[in-house]
Chain A
Amino acid sequence: MDNESPLKAIMVVTATALVCSILVTVTAVSLQPIQRAYRDLERNRHIVGVSGLLEVTDDVPDRQIVMAFQGLDARLVDLDRGVFDDDVNPDTFDARKAASDPEFGVPIPAAQDIAALGRRSRLVTVYVVEDADGLQRIIFPVYGKGMWSMLSGFLALESDLNTIAGITFHEQGETAGIGDRILAPNWQARWRGRKLYDAQDTLRFRIAKAAVDPAAPDAAFEVDGLTGATVTADAVTNLVRYWFGPHGFAKFLDNYSAAGDTR
C-alpha cells in the first residue's frame, strides 16, 4: 500500500496507539500494587515519625516502621457529628478518594473552603497513640492546596488536644529550594509546643510572615515564616486552619475533650 495514502496513515496511527496503550496499561496495572505498597509504607513512616513512639530516621528499617504502625490505633472520625465511627474499617477506608464519593463526600461551603479542597469525606482516619498512662497523642491527617501542588501530611496533637506534638508532610510538589522548605526538619521542629486554640477556644494558629518574636502575645500560636516561600507557608496555615476549624476536627476535639473520651 502507498505509504502516503490517508488510509495507511490512519492504520499506522491506530495500530501504534493501540499497541502502546496496551503496553502502558499492562505495566501500570501490574505494578500498581507494588507502587501502592511503597507509598503506604512511606506514608506510615511519616505517621510513625510524629507518633513519638520511635525516632524515625532514614536508617530505621521498614520492618520496625511496620511494627510501630501496627501498634497505633487507627480510628475513623465522623467530622459532621464529631464522634468516632466504628462501622467502617479504618484500614481500608481512603478518605481522599471518599471525598468524591456521593455516599461519603460532602461539599465544603465556599466561605470555609480556605484549603481549596472543594469536597471532603465525612469520615477521616486518625491514629490514636495510647500507652499504660492513657492518651499520648492523636495524629490527624491534613491536606490542602499549596502554590503548585497538593500538600498532605499529618499533624500530631498532645493529649491536651491543643498543643502540637509534630507536623510532617508526606506528599508535596512545591518548588525545590523554595516551597519544599516545609519539609526541613529544623523548621518542622519549631511546630512542637505551639498551640492551636487560645483559652477562649479561638483558632489562633498561623505561620508568621517572618521570625516570631518570643515575647509577642501570639508567639505561642505562631511558627516562624519561610521567607521567599510565603505562598506555600500561607497555604500550610490555611490547611491547618481548615482541618482544625468548624468544618474539620473542631467538633470532634470539643466532644473528646468534654467527655474525656467519646467511645
Chain B
Amino acid sequence: MIRARDALLNPLIDENPVTLQVLGICSALAITNSLYSALVMSLALTSVLAYSNVVISMMRRHLPASVRIIVQMTVIASGVIIIDELLQAFAPETAKTLSVFVGLIITNCIVLGRAEAFAAHNRVGISFLDGIGNGMGYSLVLIAVAVIRELFGAGTLMGAEILPTVSNGGWFEPNAMLLLPPSAFFIIGFIIWGIRSWKPEQREQPDFAPLAADELRGD
C-alpha cells in the first residue's frame, strides 16, 4: 500500500520526473526564460496531471489493454484542450507567450507516464496525490531554472527589476545567452549533477562497461 505522503512528496526530489527520469524536458527548455510563464506552465501541467490521473484511475478496471493508450491519450488531450481554451479566454497574454507549449502538454511524457505507471493500477485518491506530487516535482525544477534564467538573463523576476542592469543605469550586465533555450539545457544538467552528487543512489548504472586499455589495443 502506497502511503499518501510518499505519493505526494517522493516526486519532489527522490523520484523527480525531470531530474531522475529526465521526462518533460522540452517544455522546461522552452518556457523557462521568465518566471511568470514557468509558474503558469507549472500550474497548467499540475492540473492536467491531477485530472488525468483521477480520470484514468476511475476507468482503470474498464480499460481493455488493446485500446488502453489511445483512451488515456483522449482523456489527456481533452483536459489539455480545455486548459488551453481557459487560458486563451482568461489569460490571453500568457496564452500567447506559452503559445504551442500548452498544447504540447499532451505529449509531455510525465502525463502519460504517470497515467500508465501509476493511475492505471491505483485508487483514485492516491492517484490524485501522485498527480499533484509529480506536478510539483516538475514545477520545482521549472521554477528553479526560470529564476536563474530570468534573474541573470534579464536582471528581473516576475518582470520586476532585482539587479539593476547597465542599460537601465545600474551595474549588472545581463547574460543574454541565459534567455535562449540551450541555456536551460545546461542549467538542468547542473541541477541533475547536483542532485546525483547529493544522492548517489540516483546515479544510473552504465549500460556498458568501459573497455579497459589493453582490450582497446586488441591484444
List residues of A whose CB falls within 8 A of some B CB: 3-5, 8-9, 12-13, 16-17, 20-21, 23-24, 27-28, 31, 34-35, 38-39, 42, 177
Contacts and interface: CB of A to CB of B under 8 A. Distances in A.
Given A9-B64, A9-B67, A20 B92 contact: no
A68 B153 CA distance: 37
Contacts, number: 61
A34 B89 contact: yes
A13 to B, nearest CB: 5
Contacts of A8: 62, 64
A3 B89 contact: no
Interface string B64-96: 111100110011011001100110111010000
23 contacts: A3-B65, A4-B64, A8-B62, A9-B66, A12-B62, A12-B64, A13-B67, A13-B70, A16-B71, A20-B74, A23-B78, A27-B81, A27-B85, A28-B85, A31-B85, A31-B88, A31-B89, A34-B90, A35-B85, A35-B89, A35-B92, A38-B92, A177-B180
A237 to B, nearest CB: 26
B39 interface: no
A121 B61 CA distance: 54
Q: Which of B64, B85, B88, B180 has the most CB of A within 10 A?
A: B64
Interface string B115-158: 00000000000000000000000000000000000000000000
Given A9-B64, A12-B62, A31-B88, A24 B81 contact: yes
Given A12-B67, A16-B75, A3 B62 contact: yes
A42 B92 contact: yes
- Judged by DSSP, the binding face of B is helix
A70 B182 CA distance: 45
Contacts of B90: 34
Nearest to B70: A13
B23 interface: no
Nearest to A38: B92
A123 B101 CA distance: 36
A130 B196 CA distance: 68
A21 B66 CA distance: 21
Contacts of B66: 4, 9
Contacts of A38: 88-89, 92
B63 interface: yes
Q: Which of A20, A23, A177 has the most CB of B within 10 A?
A: A20
B65 A20 contact: no
A20 B75 contact: yes
B88 A27 contact: no
Interface in B23-70: 59, 61-67, 70
B71 to A, nearest CB: 5
Contacts of B180: 177
A9 B71 CA distance: 10
